[in-house]
A and B are shown apart, each in its own frame.
Chain A
Amino acid sequence: MKLNLKIWRQKNNSTKGGFKSYQVDANTHMSFLEMLDVLNETLIAKKEEPVAFEHDCREGICGVCSMVIDGQTHGPWKGTTTCQLHMREFKEGDTITIEPFRAKSFPVVKDLVVDRSAFDRIIQAGGYISVNTGQAPDGNAIPVEREKSSFAFEAAACIGCGACVAACPNASAMLFVSAKVSHLGLLPQGDVEHSDRVLNMVKQMDDEGFGRCSNVTACEAECPKEISVANIARLNRAYFGAALGSEKKV
């Protein structure tokens, strides 16, 4: 099938970008990224600059294939990443608009590639647990309540793709931060540093210039891992607890 593509082209962060139209011959069995591969091969054959886009695992777990397809992060399918989107969603002659994630804290590197290292710095601020190296401990040595382990597991599904920020009208990173805080803080190993983690990660999030959550819940709707905004409420509780209930520096 023949498709019309409107793709955002931008040389680098300091130049102005714009849309460019392309035509591509795809078939319904291709994934969305394979369709872009085909486009790039034709561009390379014509000695044109291929479209830069991020990709790695192509099975929905690495979280790098960030782009906005027809106004939706990771495309029109719910609970999937761009690489999991298949061309059977589209029809002959469709025009597809492809843009990079937009947020002040996610500057465009090139074309559809954005710099999401703000997320890495938030993780560095507290998205870890401190353990001594050595022999791996027995997996069942520390009992974990069933309910808490499932909440932690649901939050741990976050792949840090940044769709929450891209979809949020405020470019807020609350769903990401809350998923990390829930994933680690609900488990006994992560509970030890919970207050520090919450305060430090929220501070880093604010310093990175992300917006303030106004409970629009577009993040939850667009999250490829369907992480719930109940995590944001948990982060809020944890923040109040850490700020008001501990002697830690706010």
Chain B
Amino acid sequence: MSWFSHFVSSSIGQKLIMSLTGLFLILFLVVHLIGNLQLLAEDGGESFNVYARFMTTNPLIKTISYGLYFFILLHTWQGIFLWFKNRAARGNTGYAVKKTRAVGTSAVLSSRMAWLGIIVFVFIVIHMVQFWLQMKLGNVQMATYPGHEGEYKDLFVMVIDAFKNPAFVIFYVICMYVIGLHLWHGFQSSFQTLGLNHKKYTPLIKGIGKVYSILIPAGFAIIPIIVYLFR
């Protein structure tokens, strides 16, 4: 298997890991957003809590979730590693003046992916401690719903409470903005790394990337805003 370790530790192999884990996380965000939108259902949290129990108990979903944790860590670790590698390659003396001609992507964003990524990672850690850890280990109120068997952990109330805090809502919305910036470059960049660059479909990939990186973070951000203002 030495060819495999050489392959994944080559410069292109390292970028492939970033690309594939990034694309997995891009798919995950869609599923996560669909789940979160149930927070807006006006049923006292029934659909959200039923969904949350399904997501935390279904063996298939649980298996995928371990993959998700692994891929988040791998993407972060590999990204920080590449960041250090690239800084070393740049050398000790920087340019006194540096300008870049307008490029197809956003040069400012694409050269700051590591900083954006670190902010996103910190957000994920806070997010996991605040909701995921509480759901797993914390003392969560129980709720029952007619027509559904057994008791449900009331994650809904926990989330709504958090979204009633204006400071948290602002923090959350800013983090979603940062995720949007990270995706703005990351979405189309992951396809380029896979070698998918062609006149026929690259404009489509870039277009979908832009729509995705606006709609998905905006979808997440709108939920705490609605909850704070109207619930």
Q: Which of A17, A70, A250 has the most CB of B within 10 A?
A: A250
Look across to chain A and name the residue whose beta carbon is closest to the beta carbon of B14: A212
Q: B100–A233 contact, CB under 8 A?
A: no
When A104-B90, A104-B91, A171-B91 are in contact, do A71 and B97 touch as well, CB less than 8 Å?
yes
Judged by a CB distance under 8 angstroms, whether A4 is at the interface is no
Q: B89–A214 contact, CB under 8 A?
A: no
When A232-B192, A233-B195 are in contact, do A171 and B94 touch as well, CB less than 8 Å?
no
Listed stretches B105-113, B149-157, B165-173, B214-222; interface member: B105-113
Listed stretches B25-33, B47-55, B80-88, B175-183; interface member: B80-88
Judged by a CB distance under 8 angstroms, whether A91 is at the interface is no
**Binary contact readout A64-99 vs B (1 if CB under 8 angstroms, 0 otherwise):** 000010111000001000000000000000000101
A211 touches which of B3, B6, B12, B85 (Cβ 8 Å): B85
When A104-B91, A209-B88 are in contact, do A230 and B197 touch as well, CB less than 8 Å?
yes
Look across to chain B and name the residue whose beta carbon is closest to the beta carbon of A239: B12
Judged by a CB distance under 8 angstroms, whether B101 is at the interface is yes
By a CB distance below 8 angstroms, the chain B residues around A102 are 90-91, 93-95
A172 touches which of B89, B91, B100 (Cβ 8 Å): B89
A19 touches which of B96, B99, B198 (Cβ 8 Å): B96
A202 touches which of B12, B82, B97, B196 (Cβ 8 Å): B12
When A68-B95, A215-B193, A236-B193 are in contact, do A202 and B10 touch as well, CB less than 8 Å?
yes
Q: Which of B16, B94, B101 has the most CB of A within 10 A?
A: B101
Judged by a CB distance under 8 angstroms, whether B24 is at the interface is no
By a CB distance below 8 angstroms, the chain A residues around B89 are 103-105, 170-172, 209-212
**Binary contact readout A183-213 vs B (1 if CB under 8 angstroms, 0 otherwise):** 0000000000000000000110110011111
By a CB distance below 8 angstroms, the chain A residues around B111 are 169-170, 214, 216, 218
Q: A217–B104 contact, CB under 8 A?
A: yes
Question: In the bound complex, how far is the Cα of B88 from the Cα of A202, in angstroms?
Answer: 18
Q: B97–A97 contact, CB under 8 A?
A: yes
By a CB distance below 8 angstroms, the chain A residues around B100 are 72, 167, 218, 221-222
When A104-B88, A171-B90 are in contact, do A72 and B189 touch as well, CB less than 8 Å?
no
When A72-B99, A103-B89, A202-B12 are in contact, do A218 and B193 touch as well, CB less than 8 Å?
no
Q: B90–A103 contact, CB under 8 A?
A: yes
Judged by a CB distance under 8 angstroms, whether A61 is at the interface is no
When A206-B10, A230-B197 are in contact, do A103 and B192 touch as well, CB less than 8 Å?
no
Question: In the bound complex, how far is the Cα of B96 from the Cα of A72, in angstroms?
Answer: 11
**Binary contact readout A214-231 vs B (1 if CB under 8 angstroms, 0 otherwise):** 111110111000000110
By a CB distance below 8 angstroms, the chain A residues around B7 are 243-244, 250
Judged by a CB distance under 8 angstroms, whether A121 is at the interface is no
From 102 to 140 in chain A, residues with beta carbon under 8 angstroms from any chain B beta carbon are: 102-105
By a CB distance below 8 angstroms, the chain A residues around B90 are 102-104, 169-171, 211
**Binary contact readout B58-77 vs A (1 if CB under 8 angstroms, 0 otherwise):** 00000000000000000000
Judged by a CB distance under 8 angstroms, whether B15 is at the interface is yes
Q: B86–A249 contact, CB under 8 A?
A: no
Q: A215–B105 contact, CB under 8 A?
A: yes
By a CB distance below 8 angstroms, the chain B residues around A71 are 95, 97-99
When A206-B10, A229-B192 are in contact, do A222 and B82 touch as well, CB less than 8 Å?
no
- Chain A residues with CB under 8 Å of chain B are 6, 8, 17, 19, 68, 70-72, 78, 97, 99, 102-105, 167, 169-172, 174, 202-203, 205-206, 209-218, 220-222, 229-230, 232-237, 239-240, 243-244, 249-250
Interchain residue pairs with CB less than 8 A apart (25): A17-B93, A97-B96, A99-B95, A102-B91, A169-B111, A170-B90, A171-B86, A171-B91, A202-B10, A205-B11, A211-B85, A212-B15, A212-B85, A215-B110, A217-B107, A222-B100, A229-B104, A234-B197, A236-B15, A236-B194, A236-B195, A239-B10, A240-B16, A243-B7, A244-B7
